[in-house]
Amino acid sequence: MAENPHHGHGHGHGGQMTPEQQKQMIEQEIKLSRNLGQIKYKIAVMSGKGGVGKSTVAANLAETFQKLGFTTGILDADIHGPNIPKMLGVEDKELFVNEDHFMIPVEAPSGLKVMSMAFMIESIDTPIIWRGPQKSGSIKQLIADVAWGPLDVLIIDNPPGTGDEPLTVLQTIPNIDAVIMVTTPNVVSQEDVLKCVKMVNMLNVENIGLIENMAYYICPHCGEKLNIFGKGDGEAFSEEMEIEYLGDLPLTENVSDSPNKDGVVSTLDPDGEVSNKFSDFVSKIKEKFFKEE
């Protein structure tokens, strides 16, 4: 069949690429799949709502995997409000590029490899407005153009919401092994998780785990366990949704304080309650979601 020489030309649509752009895109896809091929397990952290503790969970999970002997990386996919470097105390570190023009991920003191848009923008206070294709391009860049090296685990911290952005992230990174959903114990959050589960199912990711954050508070005076946001029923809810309940986390100053220190609770207070919880989450993730270990 003869090709229509006019097809796709001259209409001024934004989506058209020059041969040079096409070449660059193909090169990026090749680098992306080469890099992804070196990563054993890819785990995305999500929620249906902002501010429930995704980044906190992602950073602590990553440090816990690293502590337990997995070569681990964390990808901060929140390109608007990247805060993983700050949480891990590495926000002042500089990004270097190797002779093959790959960016070398920043390393936390534990050896955890960190990649974030925060390292690529001049100032954290500069808001970036991305359009759809640029957005997926920049997330791809955070994987494709980075010398991750072989990794056992890559934790991906998603931007908030069930809209365009987390979807873009999940579509950009094929074959995600597990999604960890973070919620807080109240009805609204559960509805958000429901939305989230539907979205993840659409993307053919089968392994979903749930962590209930800020589930209780231990009274510093009498040690009583208080369910300040109401009694969470994450376990029953998970069963109903046929997802894996990984456990709960307390609301604690320990957690909310730690971004002001040089690291997360899992590294600063390795024998504390929260650290033990994260070790437990990692065991469950290994047991339920990893193919073999």
In the bound state with Zn ion, the residue whose beta carbon lies nearer, of 47 and 252, is 252
Least separation in angstroms between CB 196 and ligand ATP:
12
Q: Is 222 in the site for Zn ion (CB under 5 A)?
A: yes
Partner from ligand ATP, Mg ion, Zn ion, none contacting 259, C-beta within 5 to 8 A by type: ligand ATP
In the bound state with Zn ion, the residue whose beta carbon lies nearer, of 58 and 251, is 251
Q: Is 82 in the site for ligand ATP (CB under 6 A)?
A: no
Q: Count CA within 13 A, CB hemisphere, residue 123.
A: 3
Using the contact rule CB under 6 A, the part of the chain among 3-11, 16-24, 45-53, 191-199 near ligand ATP is 45-53
Quick check: 231 and 185 in contact, CB under 8 A? Answer: yes
Window 200-219: contact mask with Zn ion (x via CB under 5 A): -------------------x
d(CA 224, CA 226): 6
Torsion region of 12: left, alpha or beta (phi above 0 gives left; psi -120 to 50 gives alpha): left
d(CA 16, CA 19): 10
Determine the distance from the C-alpha atom of residue 120 to the mean position of all C-alpha atoms in its chain, rounded to a whole number.
Answer: 18
Q: Is 227 in the site for Zn ion (CB under 5 A)?
A: no
Helices and strands of the chain, counted as H and E runs = 10, 11
Nearest to 75 by CA among 168, 182, 157: 157
In the bound state with ligand ATP, the residue whose beta carbon lies nearer, of 39 and 87, is 87
Partner from ligand ATP, Zn ion, Mg ion, none contacting 247, C-beta within 5 to 8 A by type: none
d(CA 43, CA 177): 6
Using the contact rule CB under 6 A, the part of the chain among 32-40, 143-151, 249-257, 283-291 near ligand ATP is 249-257
Least separation in angstroms between CB 274 and ligand ATP:
8
